[in-house]
Structure 1
Amino acid sequence: MKSVAVIGASLAGLYAARALRSQGFDGRLVIVGDECHGPYDRPPLSKDFLTGATAGQGQLALADAEEIAELDAEWLLGTRATGLDTGGRTVLLDGGRSLTTDGVVIATGATPRLLPGPAPTGAHTLRTLDDAQALRAELSSGPLRVVVIGGGFIGAEVASSCAALGHDVTVVEAAPLPLVPQLGDTMAGICSALHADHGVTLLTGTGVARLHSGGTGNRVTGVELADARLLPAEVVVIGIGVRPNTAWLADSGLPLDDGVLCDAGCATPLPAVVAVGDVARVNGTRAEHWTSATEQAAVAAQNLLAGSTVATHRNLPYFWSDQYGVRLQFAGRRLPTDTPRIIEGSPDDRSFLACYERDRRVTAVLALNRPRPFMRLRRELGRGQAARA
């Protein structure tokens, strides 16, 4: 293999490029990214960057100039992939350009889901650095009435940041309770109480009918709920999930179903094509978490260079979120029937460690502001050494 193209220049793409070089690939390496920015860290966008604690783009960079030089890669930033001709192993690029390569790493990530219809001025999604810069500029004119649509991790983090900036914040969640799929009813209820602790209104069990707008510049003026309530708003943030960026692969012959379908080694059914990060559905699961993207990259690079699946990605699922000064951490594989049990601390103090149990075995662990004991249990779970409850 003399050349590899990495399509996607964010976290997963950068880690795949690093892995290729560290595993001995010394051929031509081309990294294609649709943003004009080099690789940067996305988690701070909804937190420190939004509040101004992280001042600029430089603090978000995932690689410094020295490492970029050491990768010895050709960077095609501000360039969008439009198709993949797997027969000729050619990546089609916007502007009629093309890139022929021996191997392909698909790392095109995901795009925020939108509400139906055109978005008025003042309605934002938050995925990219440009998104965060635009939202931060609006929030600097405060205090404002902010409505966050979606109570998942991004929505909760944005609500936390807006509240810290002194805005009047309401979170609208269509489900009866946010985060139930991730944490279960009991723990989701405890975590959702963080909103009320900090003066943020949480409205659950109702969707959004439409956004209201008017005046000069067609600015957003309110959010009409499915139950006909109208919430006044000067700023709206839409955080209702993401969809994997696979449209450019529609005619490639790759199997697509909520992502690029891969085996446990991130390899697709097409030779010399692997996928990593938010766009990859690995062994039936698509994980939208920082840790998964970084771990998948090393495995995918190994299999790409080997020409077959010689390694698999089966690491323990792990994610974290920072909300209202609380670090929430979760690791494991929880089933809806697993029972949570608090083993340290108290929910009343918003600081505790909880285990999920199944047949008296620990299957997952959740912590609020208990990082050290959490990491110990996470390591034990990863080694398969969780003790009986």
Structure 2
Amino acid sequence: MEVASACTARHIPVTVVDVDRPLERILGAFPVRASLRARRTPRCPNHPDHGLRSPVGDPIRGIVLPDGTELTADLVITCAGETPNTSWLHGTGLADHLGIGIDNACATVVPGVYAAGDVSYLYSQDRRAPFWSNAIARGKAAAASVVGLTPIGAPNDDYFWTELLGLSIKVVGPLPLTGEPTHIQGNLADGSALLTWNDGGGRATVVAYGIRKPVTRLRAMVDSHRNSEPKPIPQNGSAVPVTIIVAMYSTADQYGGLGSRVDSASRRT
């Protein structure tokens, strides 16, 4: 969709063919439907399609949908997704159908062997999340584990950003999102809002929808939701006044895009 967004911004007509609405499998139905309503454009119609598409012509000048509809174009781009390249690990016990499973230290089932990057997934999540931010976080954790140190940060960083037809979308927190947000700040119809999902278990996801807000601010919002649960009050002893000094150091906003391989020819997996 980032390619389609770039084309529509330059007034180039684009047709998107997919089994779901764009990004719906990652973001969930609510934010995607709201995004498409806010940015509906005749230059980028979406064709939902659950069958195989056949290329037309040599060189390719379009595709034919299962119902016989032929779509022609000056350029056809396929986004075929990605599959973990683990065939070379056959027989080692390291990989399964999801990829290479790891724990919080990036350790695999084989002692002394660590994994990081898009090919890995956390046992606790039981799914891969091939985002740039996660690849960086796991690289740091694996490097620390290899030299015998305890990783300082978590092996996953639930953050990514993308653009959908000119609408900036930045997400911090677990995905995918289900149901409607628990809190909306702003105006969805205008394509400018801050959305919050809270799963009731102390985990929150914040979506900056059409708002260019620094990721450090979004992380702070997620942390505030995580820490907002009431803490038990000590029942024994007397209250002691305490002074706390908090020094906060923030780094420059680190942007990670929603990774997808864009190839000139499709492949089926």
Return the offset for 1:273. 2.1
Matches within 5 A, 1:310-389: 313=154, 315-334=156-175, 337-359=178-200, 363-372=204-213, 375-382=216-223, 384-386=226-228
Return the offset for 1:240. 3.5
Distance 2:73 2:229 in 1: 50
1:187 pairs with 2:31:
yes
Matches within 5 A, 1:214-253: 218-253=58-93
* Paired residue secondary structure (1:243): coil
Return the offset for 1:256. 2.7
1:306: which partner in 2? Answer: 148
> Which residue identity is paired with 1:236?
V
Q: How many residues align?
A: 227
Return the offset for 1:253. 4.1
Matches within 5 A, 1:108-187: 156-175=1-20, 177-187=21-31
> 1:208–1:223: 8 Å Cα contact kept in structure 2?
no
Query: What TM-score do the two structures reach when normalised by structure 2?
Result: 0.72
Change (3 A) 1:186 1:253: closer
Structure 2: which 5+ runs fail to align? 231-269
> 2:93–2:109: 8 Å Cα contact kept in structure 1?
no
Root mean square deviation, CA, Å: 2.9
* Paired residue secondary structure (2:105): coil
> Which residue identity is paired with 1:202?
N
> Which residue identity is paired with 2:114?
V
> 1:266–1:296: 8 Å Cα contact kept in structure 2?
yes
Distance 1:251 1:226 in 2: 39
Distance 1:198 1:272 in 2: 55
> 1:320–1:330: 8 Å Cα contact kept in structure 2?
yes
- Which has a greater percent of strand? 1
> 2:194–2:206: 8 Å Cα contact kept in structure 1?
yes
2:132: which partner in 1? Answer: 290
Q: Sequence identity, in percent? A: 29
Distance 1:198 1:379 in 2: 38
* Paired residue secondary structure (2:76): strand
Query: What TM-score do the two structures reach when normalised by structure 1?
Result: 0.52
> Which residue identity is paired with 1:190?
A
- Which has a greater percent of helix? 1
Return the offset for 1:230. 1.0
Q: Which has the higher contact order (CA 8 A, sep 6+)?
A: 2
Structure 1: which 5+ runs fail to align? 1-155
